[in-house]
Amino acid sequence: MIAVSVTSEPLATDAIVASLGADGDTGAVASFVGLCRGEGGRLKGLELEHYPGMAEAEIERIAAIAKDRWPVDGIVAVHRHGLVLAGEPIVVVAARSRHRDAAFDAVRFVMDFLKTNAPFWKREHLLDGTFGGWIEAKSRDDEATARWVSG
């Protein structure tokens, strides 16, 4: 089971992880929540622009690669767009499997590829209501993605 969605609504983290379900063979659930940082109180939040349609398709493609690569029985990934306030979740990724390595690897793989390949762009939303700059892509994110190809 792979379930992907992109939404402008606040993410209900616990419900998203629970939507993975479980069966008698589930021994491991790994999950990750990426949160909007306030950067020392400077930010009201982040505005996330996305490419509707491609954003969902790209995350699904990444999740499908993870599911082929590791013995996981389910992967769920939900990503927000629009204004995300400091402290709120931006993304939730979770996987379940029989043994822990597969769930750990699948979640981290999806997060790493999602960062570099899912069409979202973050812009700072300052406390005074104006927009700050666009967030720049980090070379360490490209390196994190490359690790899965060479490794």
Partner 1 sequence: MKLKYFAWVRERIGVEEEERDLPAHVNTAGDLIHWLKGEGENYAYALEKADFIRVAADQKHVRHDASIREADVVALFPPMTGG
71 beta partners = none
Among 7, 8, 10, 22, binds a second copy (CB under 8 A): 22
How far apart are CB 86 and a second copy at their closest, in Å?
6
State the maximum Cα–Cα separation within the chain, in Å, rounded to a whole number. 52
6 binds a second copy (CB under 8 A): no
How far apart are CB 39 and a second copy at their closest, in Å?
7
Beta-sheet pairing, 72-80 with 2-7: parallel
103 binds a second copy (CB under 8 A): yes
38 binds a second copy (CB under 8 A): yes
Query: Which of 69, 65, 66, 55 is closest to 4 using CA atoms?
Result: 55
- Distance, CA of 34 to CA of 89 (rounded, Å): 6
Among 4, 11, 45, 58, binds partner 1 (CB under 8 A): 58
How far apart are CB 83 and partner 1 at their closest, in Å?
15
Which spans in 2-151 are helix H? Answer: 13-18, 54-69, 100-117, 139-150
Shorter beta-carbon distance to a second copy: residue 21 or 53: 21
- Footprint (CB under 8 A) of partner 1, residues 25-54: 34, 48-51, 53-54
- What are residue 68's phi and psi, to 5 degrees? -70, -35
Query: Which of 131, 144, 113 is closest to 43 using CA atoms?
Result: 131
Residues 6+ apart with CB under 8 A from 137: 116
Please report, as ranges, the residues that interact with a second copy according to CB under 8 A.
Answer: 14, 22, 24-41, 86-87, 98, 100-101, 103-104, 107-108, 111, 144
Residues that bind partner 1 (CB under 8 A): 34, 48-51, 53-55, 57-58, 79, 90-91, 111, 114-123, 134-137
